[in-house]
């Protein structure tokens, strides 16, 4: 298993290939549909950030450079006034395909984590900006939550709701598998092509 510490460099990412298992340590953010839409519409389209959003933009810009976004709507609870992740399983990544290439390019993001893979726009962005997609273990939310050592902060919880908020978390040895690398390889695309070929063979 490859140990990967955030923030990651382009060299770290270019060394990864489809099929590699990794253990990620460092600070990452959760982000789902609302968070991605917000980032693209507020920050990634070229206009200066709205004044009211400047503080969060500065935080995200600093933390996501060389960092990671996790497609996850966590189950959380408070213990002694501090947030704790109870379950942190991945959510389906395909919904973010219309946003992710913008986010990777604008924030110099290096890791996208989720389940189910992503499409050609994200794969192209991974090639151009030295990023990878990591597949987390579906159905193992409680197990993955054990790798969350600390909830550092939460942003937009009141506006978006807890599952859609930006949760800034510190993880230790977060387990995942590289299924889209920075060299243009996608395990998801390969499986789809093989499945279509097998189906055509069966129907012939």
Catalytic residues: 36
CA atoms within 13 A on the CB side of 162: 11
Question: What is the Cα–Cα distance from 36 to 17, expressed in whole angstroms?
Answer: 26
CA 133 remoteness from chain centre: 7
Nearest to 100 by CA among 87, 111, 90: 111
Q: Which residue has the tokens 């690398």?
A: 181
List Cβ neighbours of 73 (8 Å cut-off, separation of 6 or more): 30, 32, 91, 162, 163, 164
């Amino acid at each position: 298993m490859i140990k990967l510490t955030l923030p990651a460099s382009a060299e770290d990412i270019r060394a990864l290939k489809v099929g590699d298992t990794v253990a990620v340590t460092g600070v990452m953010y959760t982000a789902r549909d609302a968070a991605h839409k917000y980032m693209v519409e507020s920050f990634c389209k070229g206009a200066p950030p709205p004044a009211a959003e400047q503080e969060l933009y500065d935080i995200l810009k600093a933390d996501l450079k060389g960092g990671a976004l996790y497609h996850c709507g966590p189950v959380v609870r408070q213990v002694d006034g501090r947030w704790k992740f109870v379950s942190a399983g991945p959510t389906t990544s395909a919904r973010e395909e219309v946003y992710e290439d913008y986010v990777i390019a604008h924030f110099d993001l290096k890791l996208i984590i989720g389940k189910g893979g992503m499409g050609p726009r994200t794969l192209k962005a991974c090639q151009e900006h030295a990023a990878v997609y990591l597949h987390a273990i579906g159905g193992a939310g409680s197990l993955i939550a054990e790798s969350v050592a600390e909830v550092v902060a939460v942003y937009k919880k009141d506006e978006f709701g807890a599952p859609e908020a930006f949760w800034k978390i510190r993880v230790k040895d977060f387990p995942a598998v590289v299924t889209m690398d920075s060299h243009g390889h996608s395990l998801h695309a390969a499986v789809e092509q093989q499945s279509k070929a097998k189906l055509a063979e069966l129907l012939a």
